[in-house]
Amino acid sequence: MGTRIRRRLLEIDSFIDAFFYSILEGAKRAIEAYSARLERFNVKGWRRVLVEFFSDAATMGAGGAVLMLALAIPAFDETSDDWLSQNDYSVVFLDRYGNEIGKRGILHNDSVPLDEIPDHMIKATLATEDRRFYQHFGIDFGGTLRAMIENMRAKTVVQGGSSLTQQLAKNLFLTNERTIERKIKEAFLAMWLETHLTKNDILKLYLDRAYLGGGTFGVDAAAEFYFGKSVRDINLAEAAMIAGLFKAPGRYAPHIDLPAARGRANEVLENMVQAGFMTAGQIYAARRNPATPVDRSGVTAPDYFLDWAFEEVKRITGGKAVVLTAKTTIDMNLQKVAEDAVESSLRQYGKQYGASQAAMAMSDLQDGAVRAMVGGRDYGVSQFNRATSALRQPGSSFKPYVYLTALMNGFTPQSIVPDAPITIGGWSPQNYGRRYRGNIPLTTALQYSINTVAVRLAQSVGRDKIVENAYNMGVKTPLVISKSLPLGASEMTVMDQLAGYGTLASGGLKLTPYAIVDIRDGEGNLIYRHSRDEPPRQQVVPADKVSQLNAMLYQAANFGTGRRALFPTAPISGKTGTTNAYRDGWFCGFTGNYVATIWMGNDDFRSTNRMTGGSLPAMTWNKLMSYAHNGIEIKPIPGVGGVPQPEVAAAQVGPDGEAIPAPVPLVLSKQSEILLFQIEKLMREAKPLKPIAPPGPSAEMRAKESGTAAWWRAPEPAQTPPATPANAETETPPDKVVEITIRGN
């Protein structure tokens, strides 16, 4: 029995050995045979170079294709089942006074069919945007190569390489960001569109949904806006002018720059001849008689606000495709001042400070109605709304959330906290200038934007409580809880700050900025009203603690880093913010009537030229808010109170019995203020001079003898601050200011 078992085990072992031996031998013979076959195809000489080149190209191409596909997969998530109907709205927007200010959306049932759009409009579009539209499959490699050659010859970008389908894919699914990832997504989505739609469908969507300036989307809306007629009735010259807007509507819009629009239209006509769509004789009359648009020189649409309001309408109505009229909160007078303030500041000082973009928003404190919104410098160049969508580090403008949480957890404005070095897990935040003041009260710490105090407060009360308070006050962007959170390291939007500071300005009542007052359907029936359908405002933070913080923010704005935001007609509370390497500058502040927040910087996160929140942002904020408070009743800030109004001089009567008007008070221009600040800086930095003559009567005695009184405080010796440390607030704290008072006889 035992012998049989041993024999069986030996047989099994032999079988296993033989099995694996045969596999290994077979593999060995196969490899030898493969090697022998390859040796027959051994290429030498110049042929080997070609073989190696194409082999490497195939390998790299396969790897690149896999990489591009991996990058394109997220883009396909945008192609939901209802992607084609995502803009099926036709909304007319009114301002707060009931005046029409713009339109958004498309209702396909009412749009002009493709066969009713004039042939010259279609030819002008194809000749300019995509001549081989009906020949390619979504990507025109020949057109892309031709554009590259022309751009190399001109040493600048004179032609675009994207096909019409790629441009539609960008308009429907993507943003205007200039990245390789976006171009890859654009290419895949273009091919996806070509497989799901016919060429005529793609062309129709492009003609309907492209932005063409003046707040218009689509050729029919553009024809109505620029020429006062339907696209069915436009002539060749007018079609050429509209087709010229696809490239850069902000630059070639006729109501902005008519000569540029006509020059661009002439290029479109030439393109039609070069493409073979028309002859030189057919376009002769259009060249001799260029299009004359309707006078729209005084018409400006608040496009960034309308985009945001359009999204709010879709959210409120629940996604149904309807014809609507929406009354909004916007005040076009304040909107124009906000736009002019941003543009004038960037035009005058943008190069000096190295800043190219800005975003601003302003709300009424009564209920959060947004009165003005600037989402960028030029809507025609970029439709990205930096007020609602751009995430930026707020810097020290985040500190009010920290201080309010501290006040709610046992601290008071008079609480003494050490301003001294602190290290948390190897991280050591520092103050600007690497200077420390020792034990100081909270009010002083916020006034001078002391970093170490904010970090100590966060350590004491807990960062999670700070974040919870920020959310309760209206911040919607998720905040990252980190050691540098109290210094404003977590990104926020301008609208987040508008809500948070608006809650402070309202005494702790939550302020939710909104755009829509009411919505009516096509028959005039009311389907939504904000005052009726939205919940009442709630007290989200204690009113007494908010009053304490507002008084501290009043000190920060009036005696700290926000002095350039001050204007004489109303008291303000607010806080500046500047991030590392001077990338972002903020000013967030409020009166008893309005709250406004502003960000300035660059889209590419490039550092500015030492721009702080207390410089250009505060100056721009001042332009809007000082205008907004002219001729209105000034309300007190909770915790601050009102402002003493200037005394009105009694009317005097002249010899002829007519009233002599009171003298107009002198108001310095902003440039004069800047010059005075520069003079003040020079005086602070000047070295004290020793008197040469023997000491005589004091200056005060001499002033008294001459009938005047003078006093001053000598400036402290200037110190040169070192480089800005990581996560440090870069607002320069004010030194002692030279003060001079002269009284005449």
Q: Hey, which residues are catalytic here?
A: 129, 396
Nearest to 514 by CA among 229, 224, 309: 309
- First CA to last CA across the chain, in angstroms? 137
Which 8-state DSSP code applies to residue 125?
H
Distances (CA, A) of 519 to 325, 363, 435, 522, 694: 6, 20, 56, 10, 82
Cα–Cα distance for residue pair 109/248, rounded to 1 Å: 29
**Encoding tokens for residue 253?**
């819009």
3-class SS at 566? Answer: coil
Place of tokens 């000749």: 127
Classify residue 706 as exposed, middle or buried by CB count within 10 Å of its CB (0-12, 13-18, 19+): exposed
CB 263 within 8 A of CB 291: no
| CA 117-119-124 angle, 5° bins | 105
3-class SS at 339? Answer: helix
Which 8-state DSSP code applies to residue 598?
E
- The size of the chain, in residues, is 745
Q: How many CB atoms lie within 10 A of CB 438?
A: 8
**Encoding tokens for residue 346?**
């960037």
Q: How many CB atoms lie within 10 A of CB 423?
A: 9
Place of tokens 């009411």: 518
What b/e sequence results for 209-225 when a residue is b if at least 16 CB atoms lie within 10 Å of its CB, and e otherwise? ebbbbbbbbbbbbbbbb
Phi, psi of 86, deg, nearest 5 = -70, -20
Cα–Cα distance for residue pair 425/712, rounded to 1 Å: 46
The distance from CA 490 to its chain's CA centroid, rounded to whole angstroms, is 16
CB 8 within 8 A of CB 14: no
**Which residues neighbour 471 within 8 Å (Cβ) at sequence distance 6 or greater?**
479
**Encoding tokens for residue 347?**
């035009």
Cα–Cα distance for residue pair 42/31, rounded to 1 Å: 16
Cα–Cα distance for residue pair 698/703, rounded to 1 Å: 9
**Encoding tokens for residue 51?**
């073989």
**Which residues neighbour 179 within 8 Å (Cβ) at sequence distance 6 or greater?**
none
**Encoding tokens for residue 371?**
């009165």
Parallel/antiparallel/unpaired status of strands 584-590 and 370-374: unpaired
The distance from CA 552 to its chain's CA centroid, rounded to whole angstroms, is 29
Cα–Cα distance for residue pair 16/427, rounded to 1 Å: 63
Phi, psi of 216, deg, nearest 5 = -100, 145
Q: How many CB atoms lie within 10 A of CB 737?
A: 13
3-class SS at 77? Answer: coil
The distance from CA 195 to its chain's CA centroid, rounded to whole angstroms, is 35
